[in-house]
Structure 1
Amino acid sequence: MGGHMKTTILTLAAALISGAAWAGETAPGDVVYADGAVEASLTGTPGDAANGAMVVGSKKHGNCVACHQVGALADVPFQGEIGPALDGAGSRWSEAELRGLVANAKLTFEGSMMPSFYRIDGYIRPGDAYTGKAAKGALTPLLSAQEIEDVVAFLATLKDE
């Protein structure tokens, strides 16, 4: 009986710890923008630049290279030219500005075609005009809070020589 109780307490402790980590994440609707910049980390956890590079270069994740050229990812083919080259992004913009641009570039560059990677509402749902079956309720963000932080960490490493 004592062993079972100990396992239950450990399981509960693990759940509380993982819940606490999740609780530190800023939800998309709670992000505070100041002139398009976001000062506070969305997770409170430092970004992983290596994972950020993967998100930037992967078609299954951020796919930033569909529109931006990134010299540091020269091995990724078919880089786009719609958006500005990201080389030197860490010199052009502060970490807070980079975070705001990745989360919702439209707050900095009105009319930008760049997706808002950490936005869940305010979208026009054209499906209603055709089928009446557009998804209801809030959408999930294109990238998670930690993926945003990882991308920001990677972009911050792209300094002018």
Structure 2
Amino acid sequence: MPYSPRPAGLAAIILFTLAMGAVVGGAAVAADVKGSADHPLVSRYEGAAIVRYKQEKFNEYTLLLGKPDGKEPGEHQTVEGAITQIRYQIDKERTSLEVYKNYEKTLTDAGFEALFACKNKDCGGRAFNHLVVEYGDMSENQNDQRFLAAKLTRPEGTA
């Protein structure tokens, strides 16, 4: 019997929750990268452009649920399922806090449950950045980054 991937796990929304540290700073927002699209569960922040997009039908991801212990993930959960990674760029006039609060409210209003949140150096610094996304995709500015891991439990599967 052929292997059939499970419905998307927590991994389906990971980069929506990680983008807050990487998105702010472009002088002018570029056009979306070719072949990209917003995730159906979360709309994009007004004026944002997709500058990096990766979609995998089935893979695993280490979702941080606490501050890393040095270069090790610390408290975490390995999730499997469809993984969509989207990096948005937003005009430098917006702050990471403004974007974060918008996504936090959007996720809460949609029924998501927050699992872990941190900001700035409380996230664990450079080690944190390299554990959550591919190198270079998260802001190296430890004084202006935010992270939120959340899940949505629904009949068709957890996101």
TM-score category (smaller protein): under 0.3
Structure with a larger share of its residues in strand: 2
Q: Taking structure 1 as the reference length, what is the TM-score of the superposition?
A: 0.22
Specify the structure having the higher radius of gyration (Cα). Answer: 1
The normalised TM-score by structure 2 is 0.22
